[in-house]
Amino acid sequence: GEDVEQSLFLSVREGDSSVINCTYTDSSSTYLYWYKQEPGAGLQLLTYIFSNIDMKQDQRLTVLLNKKDKHLSLRIADTQTGDSAIYFCAESMPGTYKYIFGTGTRLKVLA
């Protein structure tokens, strides 16, 4: 089946780390993505990971993938107020061309 789940809200204090979690159901997914959406804007690609890799780090962002549990997480180090946004996890389906998105996690950073 095709389903991507995320928790709806996360609130952190400025300077703390944020961890946004995602679970997906299709074990044949090839790539997994994290996008950021600010109010009134489209989706900004943050990072992506191939499904046979466990971890990827890109500056303040760390992606962890547990393929056995079909669990993906995005860690944002030293979270800033500018990181407040909705974060979407997405998986690409092999043999098709579509991304399946979660419902998004709204991150609120408190000063």
Residues near another protein (CB under 8 A): 4, 30-31, 33, 35, 40-45, 48, 50, 88, 90, 92-104
Helical spans, DSSP H, in 41-111: none
In contact, 61 and 101? CB cutoff 8 Å: no
Q: Which is nearer to another protein, 15 or 94 (CB)?
A: 94
Mark 43-63 as b/e (b = at least 16 C-beta within 10 Å). Answer: beebbebebeeeeeeeeeebb
Closest CA to 36 of 88, 81, 102: 88
Are 26 and 5 within 8 A, CB to CB? no
User: Smallest distance from the beta carbon of 13 to another protein, in angstroms?
Assistant: 25
Which is closer to another protein, CB of 96 or CB of 111? 96
- C-beta of 73: minimal distance to another protein in Å? 17
Minimum distance of another protein from residue 75's CB (angstroms) = 20
Q: In terms of CB distance, is 9 or 17 closer to another protein?
A: 9
Q: Between 15 and 50, whose beta carbon lies closer to another protein?
A: 50
Q: Report, in Å, the least distance between residue 87 CB and another protein.
A: 11
The tokens for 82 are: 């500018």
